[in-house]
């Protein structure tokens, strides 16, 4: 049973839950038979949705009618009680009943409740929110994406080590290549924190990763650097800008292909290529952000995703556990 990955699932978080969460679990179950789901939420609702679509020995349901709302502040969510589906799911990973916890619920609440229940990894001061971004060659790990507005050079160094560990957990055959997100590639560019971090990483030799120096925003998708480090303020703006640009391109392309007869004919002739292009920019493929720095892995699925996106974030959970992420971070720190 040691090869079974046990995932604690907050079934009540995010839009259209628990339906999209349970549909995501069912979809994922047919791809990954080595996963056991411990599902927290309203048993009556969940039973109707599962309806014998997964093997009964692959899941269990822990009933609770209380859940964290999307409108709750982190403080309100914590005050809502220890019987919410989010709290109980996090508590199960704290008790080592499960290997990892996932929620599509309130991001701020998830971080606060996780920090209340879980210890930080020794010598790490702040957790970082990390996610996968598509690039020309495959995928990049980017952090921090909003957990910490202000960061010291020590925090950015920790993010580098955690980001490299995450990358090797997800892609064990590739070596991480780290870059610091900055306003220029020259050593003199940037604020004092960035410049100080550059010096530390430049002088610090590591067998776990290579340091490539600075990376500018327009180089993120090039694929030459696969671990991109930033403070949470800059990283979150970069993320939202990338998401907005991708949505704009897809909408404008769709509009130009359906507005005229010539456009419609062109769309039919190029259907296969356009479909590939759309899939490449599909945010569901990259769903699943990870809070790094806690002594148990916590994954945040996008609240607005559908069951396909949630299923993909369950894949991320599976790979994180199999890749021994927490052990890698502790060893590298």
Greater model confidence, 245 or 307: 307
User: Which fold, 1-124+293-333?
Assistant: Isopropylmalate Dehydrogenase (3.40.718)
Cα–Cα distance, 84 to 138 (Å, whole number): 38
Reported in sequence order, the residue ranges of 96-196 that DSSP labels E, i.e. its strands, are: 100-103, 128-134, 139-143, 177-181
The pLDDT of residue 9 is above 80: yes
Please count the CA atoms within 13 angstroms of the CA of 313 that sit on its side-chain side.
35
Cβ contact 77:42 at 8 Å: no
pLDDT at 49: 95
* Per-residue confidence band for 250, with pLDDT thresholds at 50, 70 and 90: confident
Please count the CA atoms within 13 angstroms of the CA of 61 that sit on its side-chain side.
23
Buried b (16+ CB within 10 A) or exposed e, 131-153: bbbbbeeebbbbbbbbbbeebeb
Tens-place pLDDT, residues 92-110? 999 999 999 999 999 999 9
* Per-residue confidence band for 287, with pLDDT thresholds at 50, 70 and 90: confident
Tens-place pLDDT, residues 182-197? 998 887 788 899 999 9
The pLDDT of residue 82 is above 80: yes
- What percent of the chain lies above the pLDDT cut of 90? 62
* Per-residue confidence band for 285, with pLDDT thresholds at 50, 70 and 90: confident
Pick the CATH number of 125-290 from 3.40.50.1220, 3.20.20.70, 3.40.718.10, 3.40.30.10: 3.40.718.10
What residue ranges of the chain are covered by domains with CATH 3.40.718.10? 1-124+293-333, 125-290
CA distances from 14 to 47, 239, 302 (A): 19, 20, 8
Tens-place pLDDT, residues 113-157? 999 999 999 999 999 999 888 888 888 999 999 888 899 999 999
């Amino acid at each position: 049973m040691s090869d079974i990955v046990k995932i604690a699932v907050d079934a009540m978080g995010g839009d259209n839950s628990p339906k999209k969460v349970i549909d995501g679990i069912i979809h994922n179950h047919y791809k990954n038979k080595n996963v056991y789901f411990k599902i927290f939420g309203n048993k009556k609702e969940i039973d109707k949705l599962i309806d014998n679509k997964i093997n009964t020995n692959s899941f269990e349901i822990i009933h609770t009618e209380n859940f964290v709302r999307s409108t709750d502040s982190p403080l309100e969510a914590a005050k809502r009680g220890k019987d919410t589906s989010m709290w109980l799911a996090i508590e199960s990973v704290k008790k080592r009943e499960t290997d990892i916890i996932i929620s599509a619920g309130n991001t701020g609440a998830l971080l606060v409740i996780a920090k209340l229940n879980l210890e930080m990894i020794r010598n790490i001061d702040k957790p970082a929110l990390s996610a996968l971004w598509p690039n020309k060659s495959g995928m990049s790990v980017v952090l921090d994406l909003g957990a910490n507005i202000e960061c010291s050079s020590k925090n950015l160094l920790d993010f580098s080590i955690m980001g490299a560990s995450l990358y090797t957990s997800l892609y064990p055959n590739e070596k991480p290549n780290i870059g610091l997100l900055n306003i220029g590639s020259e050593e003199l560019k940037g604020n004092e924190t960035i410049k100080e971090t550059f010096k530390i990483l430049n002088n610090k030799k590591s067998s776990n990763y290579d340091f490539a120096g600075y990376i500018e925003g327009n180089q993120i998708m090039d694929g030459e650097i696969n671990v991109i480090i930033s403070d949470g303020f800059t990283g979150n703006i970069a993320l939202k800008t990338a998401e907005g640009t991708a949505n704009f391109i897809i909408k404008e392309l769709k509009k130009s292909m359906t507005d005229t007869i010539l456009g419609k004919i062109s769309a039919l002739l190029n259907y296969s290529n356009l479909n590939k292009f759309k899939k490449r920019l599909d945010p569901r493929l990259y769903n699943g952000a990870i809070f790094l720095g806690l002594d148990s892995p916590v994954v945040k699925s996008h609240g607005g995703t559908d069951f396909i996106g949630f299923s993909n974030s369950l894949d991320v959970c599976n790979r994180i556990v199999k890749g021994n992420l927490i052990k890698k971070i502790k060893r590298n720190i």
